[in-house]
Amino acid sequence: MNGSRYKNRKIVFGMAFITAAMFSACSTVKVSDVVKLPEFRDAATEAGSFTYPDPAEAPAVPTDLRSAREWDQAAKLIIKRAATVDVPEDPYANISDAEIAREIQALKNKVKEYKLDDPVE
């Protein structure tokens, strides 16, 4: 068991080292160098010509809101539909604490069997 812990730590440290190496490599690339490449030149010139819409052209008040009457009608319809829904009975409503404890133990035993059958360890 100690061997697997050592192996897992080794993997985690290795992944952390690789990630750190990747980040340090990325920090050496400058955006200005990337923009000079022919593959990115068109995209860079298009991005520079983008203009944002003028906020003065935006409407002051939204025009697509429901009226209070429409909201009330929709809410009443939802309430009416909710009253017609048949709620199923809870199959676990009458289970005793002892039955719950037995079911928990049975599930723990299944997990233990699964772990014993695991070919990794």
Judge whether residue 28 has pLDDT over 70. no
Quote the mean pLDDT of the chain.
Answer: 80
Domain, as residue range, for 44: 1-52
Look up residue 51 and give its amino acid. Answer: T
Look up residue 82 and give its amino acid. Answer: A
The enclosing H or E element of 50 equals none
Judge whether residue 114 has pLDDT over 90. no
The answer as to whether 30 is a domain residue is: yes
What whole-number percentage of the chain has pLDDT above 70? Answer: 77
Judge whether residue 51 has pLDDT over 70. yes
Give the confidence band of 104 by pLDDT, cuts at 50, 70, 90: very high
Give the confidence band of 98 by pLDDT, cuts at 50, 70, 90: very high
The answer as to whether 64 is a domain residue is: no
The answer as to whether 38 is a domain residue is: yes
- DSSP state letters, 104-118: HHHHHHHHHHHHHT-
The answer as to whether 76 is a domain residue is: no
The answer as to whether 62 is a domain residue is: no
The answer as to whether 18 is a domain residue is: yes
Separation CA 17–CA 22 (nearest Å):
9
Nearest to 35 by CA among 48, 25, 24: 48
The answer as to whether 2 is a domain residue is: yes
- 35: exposed, middle or buried (Cβ count in 10 Å: 0-12, 13-18, 19+): middle
Q: How many domains does the chain have?
A: 1
Whole-model pTM over 0.75: no
What is the pLDDT at residue 101?
93
